[in-house]
A and B are shown apart, each in its own frame.
Chain A
Amino acid sequence: MVAMSKGRDHFTTSDSDNGLRDRIRAVMSEMNTNTEEVEDVISKFESKLDDISNRLDRLENRVSRLERHLDL
């Protein structure tokens, strides 16, 4: 059984070790996010998905028609 150590905790935060945390906070707070641009990206994504879906549906229909034609 490991004896309980009274030494310093290994890796809890301390003031002297916060360089990267400070950098994370600084970068995020300076992001200047353009929400309209984000919405535009999402809108393009949705349109592209609809486009792909519609193409797949048309392809399936063509395959079905071809199969029916071949059965005849």
Chain B
Amino acid sequence: MTVTCVVHSYRGGTGKSTTTANLSVLLAALGKKVATIDMDITSPGLHVIYNVSSQSMKYTLNDYIYNRCSFEEVVLDLTSHLKLPRGAVYFLGSSMKPEEIVKVIREGYNEKFFRHVAEKLYQQHNVDYVIFDTHPGLNEDTLLAIMSSDISLLLMRMDKQDVTGTYITSQILKKFGRISYVIMNMIPPNLADSPDLTSEVSKIIEASVIGVLPFYEEVLSHRSRGVFCLHHPQHPYSSQLLKISRRLLELTATETQTIDLMKSK
């Protein structure tokens, strides 16, 4: 069974794409087949982190939506490109061309789109996880992705704006009966080490925090020039994110029954 996840945040710049790319590679390292979908239509950039050239990305989701190509022509198998020893990473990108972006903004997405993509990926590639990297904020298309997915991963910095927005987002998701988890990102290192931080923040914002990623100068300096944990597998950031990946595996294994029940409704 494929588990669909959405990586989301209330504000921009929280590290969604970086987290998505690194998470995909770490889940693959744990033996999983993962597909990532760049649903940040107005500012796609996941292909940059994966170092996918425009020549390699001949077709995008935009082409598929407008019937200009087959589904298979959009799916890029990045397993060899990323030199992954196990598992697999597939990628479906979005166009950076303004003329394509404005068309999708104007016309939006059909609510069936997200489930359709996940189903195709399961049928054709037997993927274990489909991760949608979304546009920040409470916009309709992003909420559509969230409603169409099994779990949401909400990224949050310690910034007061982020906390406010994450709290509000978690309240909305509760109204829809959605499962959501929070990943705290770019946390001041002294605070990140506190053993109380996760439990206290979970209680206050009423959402489970499944991981804390401290701020690392090296991640900032990496500047999206590739997937960080592939370049720096021993770095504490990679270790922390690996813990989060394992936690995600545990949670989705135990939530399988709940997800199955929700899907059957």
Contact = CB atoms under 8 A, between A and B. Distances in A.
B163 A20 contact: no
30 contacts: A2-B69, A4-B68, A5-B67, A7-B67, A8-B67, A9-B66, A11-B112, A11-B116, A12-B109, A13-B107, A13-B108, A14-B110, A17-B110, A17-B112, A20-B147, A20-B148, A21-B111, A21-B140, A21-B144, A24-B140, A24-B143, A24-B147, A31-B172, A38-B164, A45-B163, A49-B158, A49-B191, A53-B190, A55-B194, A56-B190
B43 to A, nearest CB: 20
A28 B65 contact: no
B65 A56 contact: no
Contacts of B194: 52, 55-56
Given A10-B66, A21-B111, 14 more contacts: A10-B113, A12-B66, A17-B111, A17-B112, A21-B140, A24-B140, A25-B140, A27-B172, A27-B176, A28-B172, A42-B163, A42-B167, A53-B190, A56-B193
A2 B111 CA distance: 26
Contacts of A41: 167, 204-205
Main SS of the interface on chain B? helix
A28 B171 contact: no
B111 A46 contact: no
Interface of A: 2, 4-5, 7-14, 17-21, 23-25, 27-28, 31, 33, 38, 41-42, 44-46, 48-49, 52-53, 55-56
Interface in B141-192: 143-144, 147-148, 158, 160, 163-164, 167-168, 171-172, 175-176, 190-191
Interface residues of B, number: 42
B255 interface: no
Interface string B69-90: 1100100000000000000000
Interface of B: 64-70, 73, 107-113, 116, 138, 140, 143-144, 147-148, 158, 160, 163-164, 167-168, 171-172, 175-176, 190-191, 193-194, 196-197, 200-201, 204-205
Going nearest first, the 10 A-B pairs with the smallest beta carbon separation are A11-B113, A20-B111, A11-B110, A12-B107, A13-B108, A5-B67, A45-B204, A17-B110, A24-B143, A52-B194
